[in-house]
Every structure is written in structure tokens, then in C-alpha cells.
Structure 1
Amino acid sequence: MRVLIAPDCFTGTLTAEQAARAIAEGWHRSAPDDHIDRLPLSDGGPGFVDVLHDARGGDLVVVPVSDPLGREVPASLLVRDEEGARTAYVEAAQACGLHLLGADERDPRLTSTFGVGQLIDAALAAGATRIVVGLGGSGTNDAGAGLLAALGAGDPRALARGGGALGALGDDAVPGLAATR
């Protein structure tokens, strides 16, 4: 029999690759003659960049970014030349993931996507003409305001303060945005 094992991560316990390996080992113990293919997956959340790197290769670029509360953390983006374009794959959870916050820090009024904007900025600096952002596992709810601030839109002090600050922003918080509503 041929078996395909294609799990996502088991958040907080196993990466997708670790889960695939564990499942394959268990299966092999009970059916040693079966042919097993492992294909770790990601829904865009934690493990997105690792799964793509394992499957497709490319260059991992590690950059320091802000976590949801503004503390510096390392994050990786995957850069590949494909279809005549330089593509960067960014995992939002590496910058604003829930796993970066302690239980007492999980307050969407205070957390920001600023670090995701920093990852996108790093992708642009790496020459990317196409950027794919994996979304999932976020510990933020600021409607991307922090991301916009990191990329230079509007007042970074106002936009990067977390979801709770959004209600106080005026129509002029991001120049040109009010005209598109």
C-alpha cells in the first residue's frame, strides 16, 4: 500500500515535519511493507516558511523584527527566483504570532503587525518583485495598521500602537486612504 502523510503542525508541540515523521514512524511499525510519502503542510501560519523551504528550496534570510509588543525577535523569509521573478515568502506568525506572547500578554488592543511590515520591507530589500504572505496563528488584531506604519504609511507612532488605538485614528491617519472609501 502507498500512504501519503500530510499534516500541518500541532501548535505548541510539533512542527509539520516533526508530526509527519512521527506519524510515519508509527505507521511503519504496524505496516513495515507500506510505501510512505511524507508531505508536511502549512495553512500559512507557523511553519509556512519552513515547509516551503523544505519542499522548494531557496535562500532563507534572517532579519530582526518587532514581535506583537515591539520586542525584537528573529524572523526568516524565503527568497526564490522563479518564473522570471524574485519571490519572497513571508510568515506573518514569525513577527506577530500568538506563540510570541505570554498568556498575560494576549491583548489585541495592544498588539501590532509592525513586524510583518518589517518582514515585507526586508523582502523588498532582498530584491523581491513578488511577495507572498502566509497568514495564520496571529496574536494581533490591528487591521494591518502596524504593517502599514512599518512600510512608511502614516504616523508610525499612531498606527503601530495596536488594535485598541484604531478607533482614535482620523481619516487622515494614512494619507490617500480616506479617498478610497
Structure 2
Amino acid sequence: MKVIMIPSGFKECLDAEEVAVAMGAGAKKFEPFIQTEILPMIDGGEGFAKAIVKIKNGELIHKTVTGPVWKKIDSHYGIFQEGETRTAVIEMAAVAGLKLVPTELRNPLQTTTYGVGELILDALDKQVNKIIIGCGDSGTSDGGAGMAEALGAVFLDEKQNRIAIRSVTDLMKAISIDASALPDRLNDVSIDVACNWKNILCGDRGVARVFGPQKGATAEQVDALSASLDHYAALIEESTGMVVRHAPGSGASGGLGAGLLAFTGAKLHPRFDLIKNYIQIEEKIADADLVITGEGSIDFQTPDGKIPCEVARIAKRYNIPVIAITGTIGRGAENNYKAGIDAYVSIIQYPVTLEKAISKAPRWIKESVECILRQITIGLALADQRISKERIQSHGTSEPL
């Protein structure tokens, strides 16, 4: 039996490579000589830059920038060279991710993407001519306004005074955006963004209402956030002529997609469509007997472009069974059966705090994979027994055929 393990990361817990290593260890604990391959799958979130740099033999650039709660942090991005093309890989999770927002400060009205703009400027200083940006695992909901401000965009009030955007509600004070100071160098680079294509900026399915509560927003804060992003979309349209309100991907990473569209000329892509150009997985899946994937939470949102179901859709083309492991099984998880996942299991072994579950995750992932493979072995043994009984009944003898 050949098993390929293609997990996403477990948000705020383990990146995709750490999950994949734990999965592989579980398979080897079951059977040391089992044929396995681990293929960490990145979706633009945590680990995106490091993974691409590793694949492309590039270098990781470390930079001190503004974090999501306005404190300086150590962040990073990657650079690699292919022919005449010098490419930067920026991972928004490494500068404005939820993991970087302390639990007691999780108010998406107050967090910023300013550091994303700082990384873009640093990449431009290093003479790149292409930038790939991964949107995922964000801790912000400012629509990319902080990023735009870092790049040179100026938000103006009714008296044409500059407004410092230090919270999303500051957007409500602005009546226009002056984008004339954005660096001309942005016109010399192509920017591709890997994002959740189904996330939009505004409306009932907008980023404030769908993801605001996940980032710590109360019902009242969700309303305020939604109103601010509606106003922001109107400002963008008036100032740049670009309509981002319902553009596919505009709501990615708390609306960073909208800011990238409006202020950098970026092109947004369904993240799996972009990422699979760098990680070739289809032929590996086609050659496997079983695929094990995983993500920190499986629920009704997983079929909307998340890694487990994207992997499963490929596997179904080759009739390869797919099992997903997860930390949390959420509302609507059963929708994943229709999306190609044949079974899913939680790694949680007994009631624990979130902190305890995070600390035990590597061990529990390992043990879950071992258990899955043992269950499959039982199923195969039962199938063999049934075949043997049917042969005996058919031929009226227990002698070997």
C-alpha cells in the first residue's frame, strides 16, 4: 500500500510541514516499511514563504516590520531567481497573521496590515520584478488600508487633512484617498495573489460578517466593521475607479485582497490554482493507494477552496480514497463528503483546553494516522475473509482452490 500525506497546516498550532512529518511518523509506527510520501500543502497561509523558497532554492529575507497590533516584530519573506525573473514571496500570515495577535488583543477593528506594505517596499528595494503574495491565516480586517498607507496612500478627511488609519473605524472619517504617492516601481512588477476566491469584501457574505467573529469581534463590532468596509469600498471606487465591493477574492485576509487590487495592481487567483504551479501533486496522487490530508478545522467552509477538499477533488479523478484528520469538526462538516473526502476524524482524544490540545497535536496526529492505517488493515482482512467464505460456499470445500 502506498500512502501519500498532503496536509494543510493546523492554524495557530503547526504548519503544513510539521503536520506532514507527524503524519509520516504515524505511518512508520504502524509499519516501518510502508511506502509513504509526505507532501506539505500550502494554501497561502502559515509556512507559505518558507515552503516556496525551499522548493525554489531561494533565500529567506528577515525584516523587522510593524505587526498586526502595531508593535515591531521580526518577520520574513522569500526571494528566488528563475532565469531573468527575480521573484519575492510574501506571506501575510508572517506579518499580520492571527497567530501574531495575542488572545486578549483580538479585536479586528484595531489590527493592521501595515507590515505587509513594508515587506512589499523592501522587496521592491531588492529589485524584484515579480511578487507572489499568500493570503491566509490572517488576524486583520482592515481591507488592506494599513498596507496601502505603508505604500504611500494618504487618507484625507473633509478638510483635506491626513488621517492616520490606526483602526478600521478611522476609515469612516475619510472622504477620499490620495494614491498619487504610491511608488512608481509598482508599475514595473507583476503581483499575483493566492487567495480564497470566494471571499468578498462587502455584503451579507462579506468578510466582516463571515470572519469577523473568528477574529474576536463581537456582534456590535461586526456591524461597525461591515459599515467601515462598505465606506472603504466606496472610497476606493471614487479615488481609483476600481470596483472591489464584490470582486472575487476581495475579502481575502480581512479584505487585504481588495487593497491589493486597488493599490498595487495585483491579480487575484484561487489559491490552489496558483500554488499548484509550484507544487506538482497530481501525478503523486494518481500513483497512490490512499491519500491522507488534514487541516485544523473541518466544517461547512472547507469545500470552498480549502486544501483538504482541493486535494480530494484531484484524488476523485483517479478514484483514490481520501481520509482527512482535523482538530475540530465543525458545523456542516458532512458537506465534505460531497466534495470528495471519504472520511474525517478528529485527533482530540479527551476533553482538554486549547493550549493543551496544541501542545499534544504532533503526538495525536501521529497516533491518529497509525490508528487509521490499523483500521484499514482490519477492513482489508475482513474483505479477505469474506472472499474466502464465498469461495468455500461456492465450491463446497475448504481446500485451497
TM-score by length of 2: 0.43
Q: Does 1:129 align with 2:133?
A: no
CA shift, 1:53, in A, is 2.3
Q: Find the counterpart in structure 2 of residue 29 from structure 1.
A: 29
Deviates more, 1:30-39 or 1:54-63: 30-39
TM superposition outliers: structure 1 runs of 4+ over 4 Å: none
Q: Find the counterpart in structure 1 of residue 57 from structure 2.
A: 57
Contact 2:8–2:15, Cα closer than 8 Å, also in 1: yes
Aligned residue pair count: 180
One-letter code aligned to 2:67: D
| CA distance in 1 between partners of 2:163 and 2:45 (Å) | 27
One-letter code aligned to 1:141: S
Identity over aligned residues, as a percent?
A: 33
Q: Which runs of 5+ in 1 are unaligned?
A: none
What are the superposed Cα offsets for residues 87-117 of structure 1, whole Å, 9 maximum, x if unpaired?
Answer: 0000011111111111221112111110000
Q: Does 1:167 align with 2:167?
A: no
Q: Find the counterpart in structure 2 of residue 45 from structure 1.
A: 45
SS in structure 1 at match of 2:36: strand
CA shift, 1:175, in A, is 3.6
Name the CA shift for 1:159/1:42 in 2 (closer, same or farther; >3 Å). Answer: farther
Q: Which runs of 5+ in 2 are unaligned?
A: 157-161, 181-235, 243-401
| CA distance in 1 between partners of 2:164 and 2:144 (Å) | 9
TM-score by length of 1: 0.91
What are the superposed Cα offsets for residues 24-55 of structure 1, whole Å, 9 maximum, x if unpaired?
Answer: 01111213222211111111111111221232
Q: Does 1:89 align with 2:89?
A: yes
Contact 1:109–1:165, Cα closer than 8 Å, also in 2: no
| CA distance in 2 between partners of 1:106 and 1:96 (Å) | 12
As a proportion of its length, which structure holds more helix? 2
One-letter code aligned to 1:7: P
CA shift, 1:160, in A, is 3.4
CA shift, 1:155, in A, is 4.8
Contact 1:117–1:148, Cα closer than 8 Å, also in 2: yes
Q: Find the counterpart in structure 1 of residue 204 from structure 2.
A: none
| CA distance in 2 between partners of 1:2 and 1:69 (Å) | 45
One-letter code aligned to 1:123: A
| CA distance in 2 between partners of 1:100 and 1:179 (Å) | 31
| CA distance in 2 between partners of 1:14 and 1:107 (Å) | 23
What are the superposed Cα offsets for residues 44-75 of structure 1, whole Å, 9 maximum, x if unpaired?
Answer: 11111122123222011101110112111111
Name the CA shift for 1:27/1:35 in 2 (closer, same or farther; >3 Å). Answer: same
The root-mean-square deviation of aligned C-alpha atoms, in Å, is 1.9
One-letter code aligned to 1:148: A
Contact 1:8–1:42, Cα closer than 8 Å, also in 2: yes
Q: Find the counterpart in structure 1 of residue 16 from structure 2.
A: 16
One-letter code aligned to 1:180: G
Deviates more, 1:128-137 or 1:48-57: 48-57
| CA distance in 2 between partners of 1:22 and 1:137 (Å) | 21
Contact 1:68–1:140, Cα closer than 8 Å, also in 2: yes
| CA distance in 2 between partners of 1:114 and 1:13 (Å) | 24
Q: Does 1:150 align with 2:150?
A: yes
CA shift, 1:12, in A, is 2.5
Q: Find the counterpart in structure 1 of residue 241 from structure 2.
A: 180
